[in-house]
Amino acid sequence: MIPRDTVDKIIDAARVEEVIGEFVTLKKRGANLLGLCPFHGEKSPSFTVSPVKGIYKCFGCSKAGNSVNFVMDHLQLTYPEALKWLAKKYAIEVIEKELTSQEKEQQTERESQLIVMQYAQRYFTEVMTNTDEGKSVGFGYFSQRELSHALIEKFQLGYSLEERKAFSVAAIKAGYAPKYLVSTGMSILSNSFVEGSTITEKDIFDRYAGRVMFPIHDDGGRVVAFGGRTLSNDKKVAKYINSPETPIYNKSKVLYGLWHGKKAIQKVDRCYLVEGYMDVIAMHQAGFENVVASSGTSLTVEQIKSIHRFTKNVVVLYDGDEAGQKASARAIPMLLEEGMNVRLLFFPNNDDPDSYSRKVTADDFTNYVHNKTEDFLYYKANKLNTETKNDPIKKAGVIKDIVESIAIIPDNIIRSVYVKECASIMQIEEAILQQETNKVRKKLLGKIFQSKQESESPENALDTLPPEELETKVEEKEELLKLDAEEKELLRLLIAYGNAYVTIEAEDENLEKFDLEITLGEYIFFELMRDNIKFENPVYAELYDEYVNELSNQRLPDLKYFANHQNPLFSSFVINHVYQKDELSVHWKNFGVIVEAEIKKLINGTQKTLFSYKARKISALIDDSLVLLKESDDNQTELIQNEMKQLLEMKKRVNKLLGRIVIK
């Protein structure tokens, strides 16, 4: 458990713009910063970061929070894990209190898997450095590929011994549970294992043997998977083995090299996309750090979105062989559809970045990369136009191919520029090319709309109900919405002004009236407790319970307490419903409109919301009691009637108080 003062120190140090800037390219927009949201797919930025308030909010998907919440959501960490990640970033020492046995048991499988992968990386590196086999075979391979010691260390490269149980035995000896070795994919269960029994050392063997090891890092720099390359010449042996999908590794989302290259990608506003692990490392050795590769899978939309957070300019450097051409043919349309600016770079004689970089000097390689990139569509138009010059039928087919590529580009201006330029290259009228592009785009949009319609669930559709049920459902829904709005407003008042003192009218034991000064938080709490009123919305109920818990411990939690809370739902509520209200009044003041300070009419507005809410809740309880009364037997009737009597008295009192409130 991390002490409270250490938590405060981490939160104070973790500037939200610095933390998020590690994962998203942010651009200045007034007092705030703007970027592409990492939590949902978007091509136009709606993700806003406020350095002054220390918060972020996406106006597309409504995700909001502070720097800790961002790390939790983006890297899928628990609250303590996110704090430790930030502490490491800002060099803050974390001395944890001793965990109880119960707390130790509650450590997540995800955390245990990450610890196993961290151990595996150290183990493979040490094997390559400190064993005869590792030095001669593993290190020998990387030396043969002319990798520097610094680069081997930077990418944490290693080697797995030929002995098929070497890693598994060493890991168990070091104290790592066999079940986590299996769940991470580092070890494999033998065929003799009996399902349901406890996994032991004899039941497992290594996934990797006699392979050089490439650790795969996530956005936060944690090892989540491995790629292992065989050094055997046996064609029956798979050249590469990659980690399977696990709770910590989703191969469709992770890009090899992004952790090492994201700062360079941001700096130069360009990303080189290559095929393999060695291509990434070779580019680094040649001085190009802004490079990534899809790790053991075809390029996915999720991976493209990861690149887009840092830049929209991509250069594809796939191999010139048949497999490389097929890979680029799959990848390029996806890149265009996601709004990326795509350029191509082909190496001569079917070389790849790794092989070509070892054939030429460093300067020649740099010049080639800088000078030989071509815009994808211009390259395609020129190439196809040359190949089909004397064949009108083939040329018509080529034009359709070009049109399909242009049509998937989402930006109108970029599409129109490509239409103009490609029309000139292909020697066809611009109007005809534009017309054909519009036709294809219309079809594409139609398919997208249809797919969206089909994916929407009709489960909550009210129009399928009979008229009498529909009327009841609509009324119930409207009533719930009113309750929801009032609960939200009460929580907003609690968090924004709970520690402000207000004066209310009270009565002593002799029914003598007097003015009582009390905090707004205590006033709302006592009023709700008085009539045993509980929140309907489960999220709001949880937040209110947290407030009451702090109150019972003689503490008045304020806006900062909830904005920095470990529960992301609490911080999200504050940003969406407390900060925004404050921003509204500031916005109108900027236009010369004076908004009366809410705190001046605080008790009046609070009482109106509070008593209106109580009146609705009590009415609902009375309705429930009437239903019970109809269905009850003689033994229950008297009890229900007494409860109804109390509820009616409460309603009478609340309505009387509600009627006294006049908004000035």
Distance CA(382)–CA(26), nearest Å, equals 36
Where in the sequence is the domain holding 31, given as residue range(s)?
4-105
Mean pLDDT of all residues in 68-95: 84
The yes-or-no verdict on residue 480 having pLDDT over 80 is: no
Distance CA(248)–CA(216), nearest Å, equals 11
185 contacts: CB under 8 Å, gap ≥ 6 = 207, 225, 243, 244, 246, 249
Cβ-contact 342, 311 below 8 angstroms: no
CATH number of the domain enclosing 28: 3.90.580.10
Strands 501-507 and 187-189: unpaired
The yes-or-no verdict on residue 379 having pLDDT over 60 is: yes
Answer yes or no: do 369 and 320 share one domain: yes
Mean pLDDT of the chain: 81
Could you report how far apart the first and last alpha carbons of the chain are, in Å?
A: 50
Q: Comparing 193-197, 247-251, 335-339, 512-516, which segment has the lowest mean pLDDT?
A: 512-516
Q: Which amino acid is at 649?
A: E
Cβ-contact 364, 285 below 8 angstroms: no
Q: What is the pLDDT at residue 118?
A: 94
Mean pLDDT of all residues in 459-482: 49
Tell me: the pLDDT tens digits for 405-443? 888 888 888 888 888 888 888 788 888 888 888 888 888
Residue 352, in any domain of the structure: yes
Answer yes or no: do 426 and 377 share one domain: yes
Mean pLDDT of all residues in 529-533: 78
Strands 313-316 and 27-29: unpaired
Res. 636 pLDDT band, cuts 50 70 90? low
The yes-or-no verdict on residue 13 having pLDDT over 60 is: yes
Answer yes or no: do 430 and 384 share one domain: yes
Structure tokens at 482: 């009113």
Q: What is the pLDDT at residue 99?
A: 55
Tell me: the pLDDT tens digits for 230-259? 998 888 888 999 999 998 899 988 999 999
Domain edge (last residue) among 176, 211, 242: 242
Residue 84, in any domain of the structure: yes
The yes-or-no verdict on residue 397 having pLDDT over 60 is: yes
Q: What is the pLDDT at residue 632?
A: 65
Q: Which of 126-140, 235-249, 638-652 has the highest mean pLDDT?
A: 126-140
Q: What is the pLDDT at residue 570?
A: 82
Answer yes or no: do 96 and 133 share one domain: no
Structure tokens at 321: 């062989």
Domain edge (last residue) among 207, 242, 277: 242
Structure tokens at 67: 């720097």
Distance CA(67)–CA(64), nearest Å, equals 10
Answer yes or no: do 331 and 412 share one domain: yes
Q: Which of 149-163, 477-491, 503-517 has the highest mean pLDDT?
A: 149-163
The yes-or-no verdict on residue 460 having pLDDT over 60 is: no
Residue 574, in any domain of the structure: no
Q: What is the pLDDT at residue 256?
A: 95
Q: Which amino acid is at 276?
A: G
Q: Comparing 394-403, 502-511, 558-567, which segment has the lowest mean pLDDT?
A: 502-511
Residue 88, in any domain of the structure: yes
Tell me: the pLDDT tens digits for 25-69? 888 887 788 888 888 777 778 888 888 778 888 877 778 888 888
Q: What is the pLDDT at residue 473?
A: 46
Tell me: the pLDDT tens digits for 318-341? 776 666 677 777 888 899 988 899
Three-class SS of 149-178:
HHHHHHCCCEEECCCCCHHHHHHHHCCCCH
Distance CA(218)–CA(23), nearest Å, equals 11
SS3 637: helix
Helix (H) or strand (E) holding 274: strand 271-274
Q: What is the pLDDT at residue 283?
A: 93
Res. 269 pLDDT band, cuts 50 70 90? very high
Distance CA(411)–CA(409), nearest Å, equals 6
Domain edge (last residue) among 242, 272, 294: 242
- What pTM did the predictor assign? 0.67
Answer yes or no: do 432 and 492 share one domain: no
Answer yes or no: do 511 and 429 share one domain: no
Cβ-contact 318, 327 below 8 angstroms: yes
Res. 180 pLDDT band, cuts 50 70 90? very high
Res. 272 pLDDT band, cuts 50 70 90? very high
Q: What is the pLDDT at residue 168?
A: 94
Percent of the chain with pLDDT over 90: 23
Answer yes or no: do 498 and 483 share one domain: yes
Residue 371, in any domain of the structure: yes
Query: How would you class 30 by CB atoms within 10 Å of its CB: exposed for 0-12, middle for 13-18, buried for 19 or more?
Result: exposed
Cβ-contact 51, 21 below 8 angstroms: no
Res. 293 pLDDT band, cuts 50 70 90? very high
Answer yes or no: do 229 and 271 share one domain: no
Residue 39, in any domain of the structure: yes
Mean pLDDT of all residues in 451-468: 48
The number of distinct structural domains making up the chain is 4
Q: What is the pLDDT at residue 274?
A: 92
- Number of neighbours of residue 369 by Cβ within 10 angstroms: 21
Q: What is the pLDDT at residue 630?
A: 67
The yes-or-no verdict on residue 284 having pLDDT over 90 is: yes
Cβ-contact 216, 225 below 8 angstroms: yes
Res. 662 pLDDT band, cuts 50 70 90? very low
Answer yes or no: do 530 and 639 share one domain: yes
Residue 580, in any domain of the structure: no
Q: What is the pLDDT at residue 457?
A: 46
Q: Comparing 396-405, 437-446, 462-471, which segment has the lowest mean pLDDT?
A: 462-471
Half-sphere CA count of 406, side-chain side, radius 13 A:
31
Q: Comparing 35-49, 123-137, 497-511, which segment has the lowest mean pLDDT?
A: 497-511
Answer yes or no: do 205 and 293 share one domain: no
Q: What is the pLDDT at residue 595?
A: 43
Q: Comparing 437-441, 449-453, 547-551, 562-566, which segment has the lowest mean pLDDT?
A: 449-453
Residue 338, in any domain of the structure: yes
CATH number of the domain enclosing 181: 3.90.980.10
Res. 184 pLDDT band, cuts 50 70 90? very high
Q: In 3D, which of 70, 45, 43 has the Cα closest to residue 55?
A: 70
Res. 656 pLDDT band, cuts 50 70 90? low
Mean pLDDT of all residues in 77-83: 82
Answer yes or no: do 288 and 238 share one domain: no
